[in-house]
Structures are given as structure tokens and as C-alpha cells.
Amino acid sequence: LYDASGGDIRQGFVYKTVPHITLKSLANDEPPATETLYDKPEIDNKKLRVSGPFTVETLQGFQPVSPEELEEETTLAEDSAAFEETIQQHLVSAGIKNGRKDEQVVFSRVELLSHPYLHAEGFYMNGVGEKKAYIHIGPKFGTVSKNAVNEAVKECRLRGDAQWLIILGFSFESDIEGTTHTTSMGKFEVTKARIHDDLMQDGLKKKPGKSAASFVTIGEPDICLHNSGNAVTVEIQGLDIYDPIKDEVKARSVADIAYWMVDDDYDGSNFVVKQVFFCGGDRDEFDKWKKGLESLAKEGTKKKVEKTLKIEIDEEAFDRLYGHISHPIEVKKKGQKIAVRVISQFGEETTKVLTAE
């Protein structure tokens, strides 16, 4: 076996090699190249490989299907399979980033699965050893649904042999959150990761590279509600990002948030923006702004917004639009839903739904 110490047969075998001597190597007095004979693995007579007979059985379906329906179903299946293969290639070559340049998960291999909710399994290394992750691939044209995530979590919990469940998608329903699930075999993290829009463009995609940000994990916003009579205020305290290499959830500063929005009466499907706030900037400058020492962070953000929107913003008005605490929200009914959508400086977007009592 190639993995002599661990005995993992999935790593493959050690094969015989022969020198490949060419006229060029002889003329330049170069050492000959080495060719691997993949049909001749080295034999270890001390070990016995056991395999048994197997059969494949099926029942023939007799329900008539029109040629048009059959052709349409075949085309959809082929498109879905091609999309999953593209995702597999980019996962192996680019891995998954979490928004920072030096933090990235690299998969040693990714294998596709024939399951409706767990589409692939990937293997990566952390400080302890090799870890396993299941991957749910969302639709190419559509939103990852809450039901699909629940089914993927159930299957991952049932199998119990992975430490990470990755939900890949171009967009997600608002109430999908990253969570930690504990099973009899241990615990596993559920993390959302956004697929870059480039992977949606057939024929225009670049070849997957190691530096490509094809997949970026989406952090969960750390939010709390402050009650004051019949009103509440929302405070953004940061973002929580799961680091699979160190197997821990890291807190990211509020300074890493570009802007955030509030829907103070969320109906569960339509996000209606009622309040918008800009945030972020240099971390040290933002901390000084929070303490009331200086306003460089606010002024820098204001300049960026004016440059992007090509408008001038009144100083007093921007004072009401910059910060990490919302304006008071009137609680009109029991169980009122408040949705908060956060967009980080790395382009990650996530929504969290809170209930005001």
C-alpha cells in the first residue's frame, strides 16, 4: 500500500517503475526519466487482499414514458451531473476559503455520491489527522431550501462519520443558519459556503486554480436584542466563522462588516429593508470610534460610499447610518420576527432571524 503506516487502501498502491531512456537524455548526459507501470503494483506476500463475488439486481419499470419526457429528463440529469463534476474539480483545486488570504481548507480528494442530499464527500487534513466532510451542492439556478438542508443534516447525523457538513449554494433561504450538531459518534459543524457566480457561466469559466476563491464560507452574525419597554434595538457584535483546520469557531470583528440591514417585521419569505447601516473600516480606528476617541473609521467609510454611489452624503445623515446598533424598533405583536442581513467586506452575505417578545 502507498499508505504503509495508516493502511488506507484508498490512497492506492506502490507500482513498479522503469527508466525511460531517450536519445535526448543520452546526448545531454541526463539521468533517464522514470515511468510508472500502473498495471504492475508491487506485491506484498505478507498481506492477503480479500474480495468476494457480487451481483447487481434491478426491477424493470413498466410505466410508459413518452420520448419527449425521456429526452428532457436525460438532459436535466446530464446538466446536473456536469455541474456537480465542475464543483468537484474546483473543490479539489481551490478548496474553501473563509475570507482571509491565509486561511483555506484544501481537500486531498473529493468523491461524488449518488444521494439526493449528500452529493459529495471530501477529505482534508487538520492538526490531528485526516478529517471527512459531506457536501450538499445547491441548485445551479435557484436557492438552497431549508428543507434540503434539514434532510442533509439528518443523513449526516445518521451516517455519523464526518466532522463537517458543507452547504454550497449561490443563494440561501433566510432562516438557514450554521450550527453544531452532536451525535453518538461525536459532533459535526454545518457551514454555508457561497459558490462564486463564475461557476454559473458555462463556457466562460476559467480553469480552476489554487488561488481562485470559488467557495467562501459564510459566517453567522453574532446579534443580540436589547429590550426597552415596548421597543427593541439590534446590536451587531461580530461574525462567527468555523475554522475546520483548528476545529473551532472564530469570532470576527464588527470592523469586518461592510453594511447591514434590518427588516423589523419579517414575514418569513420577503425581506423588506427598513433600516440600513454602514459599518467597518480599520479595526483599530473602529475600536477608537466605538470609544468616542476619533471618527476616522466613519469618515473613511463615508468616502467609500460616496465614491461608489457618486453622491454627496450629509454629515448629520451619515451619523444616523453608521454604526453597529439599530434605531429603536417598536414591538407591535407577540412573536414579531426581526430579520438582520449582514454583508461583510469579503462579500459574504448572511441573514439571521430573531424573535422579539
Ranges of residues in the chain whose predicted pLDDT is under 70:
1-7, 9, 48-78, 98-103, 174-186, 201-213, 242-250, 280-298, 316-318, 346-347
Q: What sign does the CA torsion over 270, 276, 282, 287 have? A: negative
Rounded to an integer, what distance in angstroms lies between the CA atom of residue 75 and that of residue 293?
62
- Tell me which residue of 325, 319, 321, 357 sits closest to 235, measured CA to CA: 325
pTM over cut 0.85: no
Model pLDDT, residue 356: 84
User: How many residues make up the chain in this entry?
Assistant: 357
What pLDDT, on a 0 to 100 scale, did the predictor assign at position 135? Answer: 93
Q: What is the pLDDT of residues 43-59, one digit of tens each?
A: 878 776 665 555 555 55
Rg (CA), the chain: 26
Burial (CB < 10 A; 0-12, 13-18, 19+), residue 284, is exposed
- Rounded Cα gap, residues 318 and 222, in angstroms: 24
- The predicted pLDDT at position 121 comes to 93
Q: Looking only at Cα atoms, what is the longest distance across the chain?
A: 90
**Which phi and psi angles does 320 have, rounded to 5°?**
-85, -15
Residue 290: what pLDDT? Answer: 56
Answer left, alpha or beta for residue 203, where phi above 0 means left and psi between -120 and 50 means alpha. left
Structural domains present in the chain:
1-48 (no CATH), 76-218 (no CATH), 220-356 (2.60.40)
DSSP state of 172: B
In sequence order, the β-bridge partners of residue 144 are: 172
Concatenated DSSP letters of 102-161: T-EE-EEEEEE---SS--EEEEEE-SSSEEEEEEEEPPSSS-B-HHHHHHHHHHHHHH--
The pLDDT value recorded for residue 282 is 60
Which residue in 290, 264, 285, 286 sits closest to 275, CA to CA? 264
3-state SS of the chain: helix, strand, coil percent to 5? Answer: 25, 35, 40
Looking at residue 22, what is its pLDDT?
A: 87
Give residue 119's pLDDT: 92
What is the Cα–Cα distance from 243 to 104, expressed in whole angstroms? Answer: 9
| Per-residue pLDDT at 15 | 86
For the chain, the straight-line distance linking the first and the last C-alpha, in angstroms and rounded, comes to 61
